[in-house]
Amino acid sequence: MKINLIFMICAVLFAGTAAAETCAPLPPQVSSTAGNTVRVTIGPELGFSSHGNTYFLITRPISTVTIKLTPVTTDGASYPTQLIARYSDDTIFESGAPIFVPDSTNPIVWGPLQVNQPGKVLDVFNVKILENYRLYPQSKGFTYDLEAIGCG
């Protein structure tokens, strides 16, 4: 009887408490460089439409995405970014557009970003580092490693 009472009290106290989230790397659409990390190079020598456009596949339900960008080289120019959740009904949700200056001694982390939208099924998460050579003619481009972690 005493154990049942303790069980009932615990059930009431912890009702609605979510199980601990499970986090795991999201697989990139392109071949990874190491594990689930992708290495990307953008720069003016690749043309004015050069940009890093990396897609991460959603293989299980998730509620948040965290992006880690690690510059391998440095550039003094600013780079705009688009972080885009793409859903199965062809809608998108863009999580701001942080602008950064790549510094090989300073990894950048964005997130966790909320990606679960009511009634939507997340298909892919897109990280787009935009070319900036027209805005910042002094930019030389840079190389970076990119990975995404999904939690749900």
With contact defined as beta carbons under 8 Å apart, do 143 and 71 qualify? yes
DSSP string, the chain: -HHHHHHHHHHHHTTTPPPPP-EEEPPBSSPPSBTTBEEEEE-GGG-TT--EEEEEE--S--SEEEEEEEESS--SS-EEEEEEEEETTS-EEE----EE---TT--EEEEEEE---TT--EEEEEEEEPP-TTT-TT---EEEEEEEEEE-
Whole-number pLDDT of residue 3: 39
| CATH of range 21-151; options 2.60.120.260, 1.10.3470.10, 3.30.1360.20, 3.20.20.80 | 2.60.120.260
Please give the pLDDT value at position 4. 40
Residue 36 has pLDDT above 80, yes or no: yes
How far is Cα of residue 13 from the mean position of the Cα atoms in its chain? 35
Section 35-49 average pLDDT: 79
Return the closest-CA partner of residue 104 out of 68, 144, 134.
144
- pLDDT of 11: 41
- pTM assigned to the model: 0.80
